């Protein structure tokens, strides 16, 4: 976006900006050291939206519209509510700000651990940085993803997919769009392909290759995000988006593109459906005549409700509420998914035998299990015209998730191991922050945008999962 406010702002001298950037490296409002934004009008240094939002509060108090994101080194205009594309070309002040020393965490004396609202101890960030340097396995190369402005939802999904080797390995083996065969034709063999088209497949391939290289501590997925804006208008802008919605849009788009780019693949099948695709069977039973109606539907993920008996009850004490939440297990959510339920009056089923709408029951079974089982916990609900979040803790296994009791018949392979989990931090659907845990060569890592640190499996087990990716122990991928 061509921002018209850059000429008005960004008048602060480079020396003042350098001093603000180097002097302490922390938010002026709360001493936070993550997601720092530099005001280009007065040089104030404040934290971003997913921390405490002091950068936006500074704009609301002073009217200083433009700020430099020290993570992505991009200029954001609060008045336009978008990133500016005409910053570096027109303003020497912005170039000077980018060349100024980045905020650095000072090695202060070790502070006592402080407790979070959930009662868990949290070490300060300086200690985490030092721990990471000593604990990260040298044989594993992990790379972070820069936040381009509330793009943590995308980063969490990309890091999860990149650590599913059978999926990302396929994309890394695809030829680049520039690659041509001996006759000068595109290696994708698609005669209908227009080189002016924006392909998510190609940009995802580049990101996955860069994440696997390990050459940098963090890379910018800017080109992929730009393509997403073009092909999926739903995600245009820099507002916080839902990670599950993004995952579904992305997988659907990749599947469609691959069917076009690789016409020789089996009909209606791609790496997306081969890895994530399963089949559901729905059964509707008429309570009047007893007729059963069955239907088969493909799925790429399953959305699971938190059973009502595990929801926090505001009339109970805090201790009882926490006990109720801890007792919930992923298996309880799966059992609730396949339980028989009676359809409401507004959802009466038309019975082909009775020739009218009748009271009926409905239930789901899994008819065919996927290679990668993606489970989405439905944490966001509408309540009193507002979308609220369920913060219930759900325990889940890291190994040997047994799906046999939820499948029709006896499946050949029904045991799954956890590969990745996406977590939403915060209380609101349109706010908060997304991070991901993923296992790479037997080691667990926490991916928080540009920051990646090795973690113990116990930390993974304690997280409040939003999306879980389980890989079947006997992975069976058809030849491509």
Residues serving a catalytic function are: 152, 433
Side-chain half-sphere exposure of 107, counting CA atoms within 13 A: 2
Q: How far apart are CA 431 and CA 434, in angstroms?
A: 10
Report how far apart, in Å, the C-alpha atoms of 339 and of each of 176, 188, 379 are. Answer: 47, 45, 19
Q: How far apart are CA 16 and CA 48, in angstroms?
A: 20
Kindly report the number of other CB atoms within 10 A of residue 54's CB atom: 22
Q: How far apart are CA 346 and CA 128, in angstroms?
A: 53
Q: 296-310: string of b/e by CB count within 10 Å (b at 16+)?
A: eeebbbbebebbeeb
């Amino acid at each position: 976006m061509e921002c018209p406010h850059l000429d008005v702002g960004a008048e602060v001298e480079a020396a003042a900006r350098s001093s603000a950037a180097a002097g302490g490296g922390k938010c002026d409002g709360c001493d936070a050291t993550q997601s720092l934004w530099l005001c280009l009008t007065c040089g104030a240094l404040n934290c971003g939206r997913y921390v405490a939002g002091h950068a936006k509060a500074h704009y609301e108090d002073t009217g200083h519209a433009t700020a430099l994101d020290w993570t992505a080194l991009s200029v954001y205009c609060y008045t336009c509510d978008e990133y500016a594309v005409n910053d570096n070309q027109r303003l020497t002040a912005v170039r000077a700000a980018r060349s100024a020393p980045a905020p650095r965490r000072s090695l202060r004396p070790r502070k006592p651990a402080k407790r979070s609202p959930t009662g868990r101890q949290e070490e300060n960030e300086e200690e985490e940085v030092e721990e990471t340097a000593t604990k990260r396995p040298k044989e594993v190369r992990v790379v972070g993803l820069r936040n381009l402005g509330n793009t943590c939802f995308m980063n969490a999904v990309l890091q999860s997919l990149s650590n599913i080797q059978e999926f990302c390995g396929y994309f890394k083996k695809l030829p680049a769009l520039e690659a041509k065969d001996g006759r000068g034709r595109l290696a994708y063999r698609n005669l209908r392909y227009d080189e002016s088209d924006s392909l998510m497949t190609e940009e995802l391939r580049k990101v996955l290759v860069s994440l696997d290289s390990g050459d940098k501590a963090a890379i910018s997925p800017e080109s992929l995000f730009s393509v997403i804006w073009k092909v999926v208008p739903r995600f245009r802008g820099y507002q916080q988006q839902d990670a599950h919605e993004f995952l579904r849009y992305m997988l659907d788009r990749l599947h469609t593109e691959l069917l076009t780019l690789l016409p020789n693949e089996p009909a209606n099948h791609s790496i997306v459906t081969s890895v994530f695709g399963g089949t559901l069977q729905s059964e509707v039973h008429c309570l009047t005549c007893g007729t059963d109606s069955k239907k088969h539907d493909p799925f790429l993920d399953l959305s699971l409700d938190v059973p009502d008996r595990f929801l926090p009850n505001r009339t109970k004490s805090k201790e009882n509420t926490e006990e109720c939440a801890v007792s919930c297990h992923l298996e309880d959510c799966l059992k609730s998914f396949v339980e028989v339920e009676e359809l409401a009056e507004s959802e009466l089923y038309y019975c082909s035998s009775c020739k009218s709408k009748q009271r009926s029951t409905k239930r789901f079974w899994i008819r065919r299990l996927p290679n990668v089982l993606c489970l989405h916990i439905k944490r966001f609900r509408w309540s009193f015209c507002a979308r609220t979040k369920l913060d219930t803790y759900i325990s889940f296994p890291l190994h040997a998730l047994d799906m046999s009791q939820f499948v029709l018949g006896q499946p050949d392979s029904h045991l799954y191991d956890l590969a990745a989990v996406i977590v939403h931090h915060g209380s609101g659907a349109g706010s908060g922050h997304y991070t991901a845990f993923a296992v790479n060569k037997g080691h667990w890592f926490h991916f928080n945008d540009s920051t990646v640190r090795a973690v113990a499996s116990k930390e993974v087990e304690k997280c409040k999962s939003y999306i879980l990716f389980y890989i079947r122990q006997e992975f069976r991928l058809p030849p491509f």
